Amino acid sequence: MSGVDSDSSLITHHSSLLSYLDSLQGSGIRPGLSRIRAMLRALGHPERAYESIIVAGTNGKGSTSSMIASILRESGKRVGFYTSPHLVDMRERWMIDGAMIEPRLLDDLIDELRSAADHIGITPTYFEAMTIIAFIAFARAQCEIAVLEVGMGGRLDATNVVRPIAAVITPIGFDHTEWLGNTIRKIAREKAGVIHRGAIALTSNDDPVVLDVLRKRAKQFGSPLIVVRDEHDTPLAGDFQRRNAALAVATARKLGIDETSIERGVANTRWRGRLEHLRARGKDVWIDGAHNAHAARAIVPFVERLPRPRTLVFGIMSDKEVGEVESVLYPLFDHIITTEPFPPRSMSAARLAHVPNAIAEPDPERAFERALASAAPAIFVAGSLYLAGAAIAFFDKIAG
């Protein structure tokens, strides 16, 4: 086979594998652990090849996970880090020692996943597939430890098939209420499901209801609950990140990581799309997910310090707390451009543009261009991690 034919064949195979993953999105959200347990049994239990730390919560779990992974790398451990969703490149979900997995490896892992699924007659959900890929990748790379960010909830999340050495729970608020329950207590019970016997349990929550639920779960499994109320300096922007950093530091200390590695790990953490700052065409651009009311309220003190006039580019998924997020963010900005980062799941730009100082621009790239053309020295992009990903891809091309 010629080199050209070989390359063409590889591209076709790669496209076929990605199409297989995409096809799994049609199965939707199906909470439960039976499918992934069966899959992992067929694959020889790759998730048991290393120790695991599991991180749950409503907000801050991505940055907290990233800091924990960075600290562990600085201590000399070979670390796998699984997170979701990705912002620009799918391979962001699977990091080994701080680097995305190679495209060829991803193809091999999808092949292995699909073969196992076909062999036992199970169709995993999209998130289950992504999680299984993480487990196989980290085992194949001979990782010593994996940091796993929970996708949704905790008790029935695909990541919760491990028996972690540490269960870390970031602030809990209202999110995914159709799956997790419509009260903080119910949601906390789902998140508390990541606490298992033998795991160190840590949280930065200060809500008495949440703490009551977490303490009961921890007591049930013989694990004292460590409540972290300190703050710790971090290169990540936003006052709330100091609490996330303190939680990561407390976790590392409980695992016996030395102070030098802890400080280096926190200092070297980079987490894109979370109050990320870029310069573009002489303007300051800030990008943050802020995809629920809790996350939106957390960035208010930061936004209030930005110069005026301020322009907001806003897009959000229709299943989120749209009205509450709007009520928090809209009063902070002089101009608002609404957009649709992930149709058809996005709330329509026209419906979001219901205040006098808002205009609708469904196409995100055109929305960013309109923001750059405005008189505002500060542009803020928020409302969805899908929008954050689109913004990063766009502004990376023109940054400067």
**pLDDT, tens digit, for every residue of 253-310?**
999 999 999 999 999 998 888 899 999 999 999 999 888 888 899 899 999 999 999 9
In the block, tokens 């499901």 appear at: 193
- What Å distances lie between residue 378 and 300, 307, 352, 371, 393, CA to CA? 15, 7, 21, 9, 19
Q: What percent of the chain has pLDDT over 90?
A: 77
| pLDDT tier for residue 343 given thresholds of 50, 70 and 90 | confident
Q: What pLDDT score was predicted for residue 10?
A: 57
Q: What pLDDT score was predicted for residue 7?
A: 55
Element (H, E) at 324: helix 322-329
Q: What pLDDT score was predicted for residue 289?
A: 87
Helix (H, G, I), strand (E, B) or coil at 169: strand
> DSSP labels for 5-68?
HHHHHHHHHHHHHHHHHHHGGGG-----SHHHHHHHHHTT-GGGSSEEEEEE-SSSHHHHHHHH
Average pLDDT, the chain: 92
pLDDT-wise least confident of 39-48, 247-256, 328-337, 389-398: 389-398
Sequence-separated (6 or more) residues with CB below 8 Å from residue 155: 189, 190, 191, 192, 193, 194
Task: With CA atoms as reference, report the closest residue to 307 among 328, 330, 278, 286.
Answer: 286
Q: What pLDDT score was predicted for residue 5?
A: 53
Alpha carbon distance 388, 383 (integer Å):
8
pLDDT-wise least confident of 167-171, 280-284, 359-363: 280-284
In the block, tokens 């310090």 appear at: 305
Q: Which domains does the chain have, with CATH numbers?
A: 3-267 (3.40.1190.10), 276-398 (3.90.190.20)
Gyration radius from the chain CA atoms: 21
Q: Can you tell me the mean pLDDT for 29-56?
A: 95
Alpha carbon distance 169, 153 (integer Å):
11
pLDDT-wise least confident of 6-15, 206-215, 239-248: 6-15
Residues 63, 110 contacting (CB under 8 angstroms): no
Alpha carbon distance 265, 321 (integer Å):
34
pLDDT-wise least confident of 2-6, 55-59, 265-269, 318-322: 2-6
Evaluate if residue 223 carries a pLDDT over 80. Answer: yes
**pLDDT, tens digit, for every residue of 63-103?**
999 999 999 999 999 999 999 988 989 999 999 999 999 99
The residue among 385 and 48 whose pLDDT is bigger is 48
| pLDDT tier for residue 161 given thresholds of 50, 70 and 90 | very high
Q: What is the pTM of this model?
A: 0.89
Q: Can you tell me the mean pLDDT for 371-379?
A: 94
Alpha carbon distance 173, 36 (integer Å):
27
φ/ψ of residue 133, rounded to 5 = -60, -40
| pLDDT tier for residue 181 given thresholds of 50, 70 and 90 | confident
